[in-house]
């Protein structure tokens, strides 16, 4: 691919990376999951992939990191494939929330007591409980197989050390899960610890920016993989996922990001961001230093800069 915008991206990306990397000093790597605190806080990398297979990569794009909340987009897609819209959205809502991603407040205050959306922690735990399988290992393997398919890499796996680290410190997530069980979102036969084990495992799946770019490209193309020529996910389910990314994907900074960048995106507390320019690009970003809302501070700045410079906003 060699049009004017692509040439502009290729020429300007090193400058944008240098300019945006400096913002990392104003954030810090996540410390509430001890393993994540070990990440290089000053790292910043990006990969951009087009439907014809052209890729630009810059900065620390080869850095491995765990998907964390980015994985919630794909567990939602898998749950939709397993159960369809009606059942999934009987367990989780479709609305943004201005609360923190791990808030328990509205589960108690707002009827009918289901999570507001699938991209907050409570919603993702509810969605994880819907993934078919007879054991933690089987359900984890199904998520891994789906991620591997979307990313085009059969070697992708989850980091057991990070998963254990999340489990040991997951007091709030356990509270959320038991509240969901009390509200009937998780049924009586569902083991909270088994659901959480699958949840921690899929959050701990390790990827690079290149993997996210490939996954994002499939979303950008409505579930069609232009590199293999296959429809991997029903278009309708991808529309749902991208809508949630736009309205809820950057935690309680989603509205601000929609105004400043105007593209669907999903962040994770390891510093990753999956972004989509519909019909054009899949984008993977990593920048482990987070702002106070849990988003990569340099990564957000980079995406906002590029969106303005290349006129990516869908609005």
In the annotated binding site for substrate, the residues are 69, 121, 166, 173, 199, 251, 269
In angstroms, the CA 74 to CA 219 distance is 10
- Sign of the torsion angle spanned by Cα atoms 60, 62, 68, 69: positive
In angstroms, the CA 243 to CA 117 distance is 11
Task: Provide CB contacts within 8 A for 69, sequence distance 6+.
Answer: 101, 119, 121, 124, 203, 266, 267, 268, 269
Ranges of beta strands (E only) in 76-156 are none
Q: Which of 72, 106, 242, 266 is catalytic?
A: 72
Q: Which of 195, 198, 233, 269 is catalytic?
A: 269
Please give the distance of CA 247 from its chain centroid, rounded to a whole number: 13
In angstroms, the CA 308 to CA 303 distance is 9
Task: Provide CB contacts within 8 A for 173, sequence distance 6+.
Answer: 102, 121, 125, 196, 199
Kind and range of the H or E element at 277? strand 272-277
Q: Is 237 annotated as catalytic?
A: no
Q: Is 158 annotated as catalytic?
A: no
Which residue from 218, 226, 223 is spatially nearest to 235, judged by alpha carbons?
Answer: 223
DSSP 159-182: -HHHHHHHHHT-HHHHHHHHHHHH
Q: Which of 23, 158, 237, 251 is catalytic?
A: 251
- The pairing of strands 224-225 and 230-231 is antiparallel
Q: Is 242 annotated as catalytic?
A: no
In angstroms, the CA 134 to CA 151 distance is 25
Contact 129, 115 (CB under 8 A): no
CA 289 vs CA 32, 109, 243: distances in Å: 13, 33, 26
Q: Which of 23, 47, 61, 69 is catalytic?
A: 69
Residues labelled catalytic: 69, 72, 199, 251, 269
């Amino acid at each position: 691919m060699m049009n004017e915008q692509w040439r502009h991206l290729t020429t300007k990306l090193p400058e944008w990376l240098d300019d945006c990397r400096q913002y990392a000093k104003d954030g810090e790597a996540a410390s509430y999951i001890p393993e994540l605190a070990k990440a290089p806080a000053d790292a910043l990398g990006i990969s951009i992939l087009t439907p014809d297979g052209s890729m630009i990569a810059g900065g620390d794009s080869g850095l491995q990191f765990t998907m964390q909340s980015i994985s919630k987009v794909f567990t939602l897609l898998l749950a939709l494939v397993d159960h369809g819209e009606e059942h999934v959205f009987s367990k989780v809502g479709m609305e943004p929330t201005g609360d923190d991603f791990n808030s328990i407040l509205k589960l108690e205050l707002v009827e009918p007591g289901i999570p507001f959306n699938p991209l907050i922690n409570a919603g993702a735990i509810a969605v994880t409980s819907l993934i078919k399988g007879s054991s933690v290992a089987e359900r984890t393997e199904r998520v891994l197989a789906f991620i591997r398919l979307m990313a085009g890499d059969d070697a992708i796996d989850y980091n057991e050390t990070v998963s254990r680290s999340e489990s040991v410190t997951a007091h709030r997530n356990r509270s959320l899960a038991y509240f969901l069980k009390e509200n009937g979102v998780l049924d009586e036969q569902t083991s909270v610890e088994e659901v959480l084990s699958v949840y921690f495992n899929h959050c701990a799946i390790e990827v690079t920016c290149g993997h996210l770019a490939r996954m994002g490209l499939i979303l950008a193309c409505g579930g069609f993989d232009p590199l293999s020529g296959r429809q991997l996910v029903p278009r309708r389910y991808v529309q749902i996922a991208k809508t949630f990314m736009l309205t809820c994907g950057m935690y309680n900074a989603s509205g601000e990001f929609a105004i400043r960048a105007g593209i669907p995106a999903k962040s994770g507390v390891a510093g990753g961001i999956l972004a989509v320019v519909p019909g054009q690009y899949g984008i993977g970003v990593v920048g482990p230093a987070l702002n106070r809302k849990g988003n990569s501070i340099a990564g957000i700045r980079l995406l906002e800069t590029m969106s303005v410079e290349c006129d990516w906003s869908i609005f």
